[in-house]
Amino acid sequence: MNRYLPVARQHFLAALASTSVVVKTISAVVVLLYLLSWAVDTSYALGVTPGYLFPPNFWVWTLVTHGLVEQHVWGVAANVGTVMACGRLLEPLWGALELLIFFAVVNVTAGLLAGLSYLLTYVATFHLDFLFAVHIYGVAGFLGGVLVALKQTMGDSTVLRVPQVRLKAAPALVLLFLALLRLSGLLDSCAPLAAYSYGALSGWVYLRFYQRHSRGRGDMSDHFAFASFFPEAVQPAVGLLAGLVHAALVKIKVCRKMVKRYDVGAPSSITISLPGTDPQDAERRRQLALKALNERLKRVEDQSAWPSMDDEEEDDDEVRTDTQPLLSDGRDTLSSTPRTSGGPTGASLSSPSSASHSSGTASSGGVQHPESSIITFEDASSRS
């Protein structure tokens, strides 16, 4: 174990050195607040407490700081690892400023919605623990948003090979994992589960409708629809429900109807507005087709292997055995044929005549078969 610690430390420092100032700053603040938690209850002062978030207390700064607070070492590792993963995978695509905006939007929205949910739960149950005994903090909310962003950018990447798990299924699997931890009693409250759920939802809404990029705003591709986060069996029903909710939000001016623009590259700069096409979706489908073609070609090359040298030698031996001259068989037949009652003298006397007769026949008539030599031998012995 001690051998791998210097190597892991070296890789961690190299990865941290290659990140931007935004990632380094967030990671440093997380570590400092963890060290501060040994002396001060940071989860109370900097975490979201539903009873203090809303008036008359109105602790609004906790909406910004709750995602940086951790109470355990594994929480610090998960928080810093998530931020560094964003720096390696998302920041080259978005930029440092867009990553900071995404971090702020997801954390603020997740803390606000989670606190509002606990407030509504108190209204329904009149239990004060839902207002003052619950503290929402940690990386859970930002982790949900990051997994949604990774699904958008590289959803077809394989996370596990056995069993095969793709990155697009990671948001649902992590949600199921947190729910199992809560049911088993390993989680003290539902705060991490609520923060993760609202973080994933807020991240999807921001990336779907509001994020600005070179092609306009949002991502209306089919692979990033809300129904794609659910199993295929329930996707039609979820898609129908999500369409109704979106239509209602468009009518009350919360969301605006997205029209995707597809530039055909004409010399006259004609731009066609189509409601069902997206260049990003088309590029993703092209990459999938190329990947499938490469895998198929690789399987064909593996199957068409050259035969080994041993197989060629065995084939040569079989050919040599099958192409033995028939004349040798005839000689063996002559040697194995039993002699007649004439005795060895008759056989020896008749052999020269038979040999001369067979040689004459071979010279005059061409190829002589073994059966003809046998008949000549018997005729010579009977004449003697």
Which band of pLDDT confidence, cut at 50, 70 and 90, is reported for residue 111?
very high
Q: What confidence tens digit (pLDDT) does each residue in 240-279 have? A: 998 898 888 888 877 777 665 555 554 444 444 444 445 5
Helix (H) or strand (E) holding 93: helix 91-94
Q: What confidence tens digit (pLDDT) does each residue in 58-76 have? A: 999 999 999 999 999 999 9
Position 122 pLDDT exceeds 50: yes
How many degrees, rounded to 5, is the angle at CA 28 between CA 27 and CA 34?
Answer: 95
pLDDT of residue 216: 80
pLDDT of residue 344: 41
**Helix-strand-coil percent breakdown of the chain, rounded to 5?**
70, 5, 25
Supply the DSSP string of 35-46, one letter for each residue: HHTTTS-HHHHT
Residue type (1 letter), 165: V
Q: Of 11-20, 89-98, 122-131, 349-358, which range is least confident?
A: 349-358
pLDDT of residue 298: 79
Q: Phi and psi dihedrals of 101, rounded to 5?
A: -65, -45
pLDDT of residue 212: 87
Tokens of 383: 């004449």
Q: Of 222-226, 261-265, 347-351, which range is least confident?
A: 347-351
Contact between 274 and 262 (Cβ < 8 Å): yes
pLDDT of residue 168: 86
What value does the mean pLDDT take over residues 185-203?
93
Rounded CA separation 379/382 (Å)? 5
Greatest mean pLDDT among 20-29, 277-286, 356-365: 20-29
Q: What confidence tens digit (pLDDT) does each residue in 25-59 have? A: 999 999 999 999 999 999 999 999 999 999 888 99
pLDDT of residue 317: 54
Comparing CA positions, the residue from 160, 35, 25 lying closest to residue 96 is 25
Name the 3-class secondary structure at 337.
Answer: coil
Rounded CA separation 127/265 (Å)? 62
Instruction: End-to-end CA distance of the chain: give it in Å, rounded.
Output: 100
Contact between 171 and 148 (Cβ < 8 Å): yes
Greatest mean pLDDT among 110-114, 164-168, 340-344, 352-356: 110-114
Tokens of 115: 């606190």
Cis peptide before 325 (omega within 30 of 0): no
Helix (H) or strand (E) holding 203: helix 191-205
What does R_g of the chain's alpha carbons equal in angstroms? 42
Computed over every residue of the chain, the mean pLDDT equals 77
Contact between 26 and 68 (Cβ < 8 Å): yes
Helix (H) or strand (E) holding 351: helix 343-365
Within a 10 A sphere around the Cβ of 273, how many other Cβ atoms? 9
Q: What confidence tens digit (pLDDT) does each residue in 287-345 have? A: 677 777 887 887 777 666 555 555 555 555 554 544 445 444 444 444 444 444 444 44
Q: Phi and psi dihedrals of 225, rounded to 5?
A: -70, 160
Rounded CA separation 351/357 (Å)? 10
Tokens of 2: 């001690």
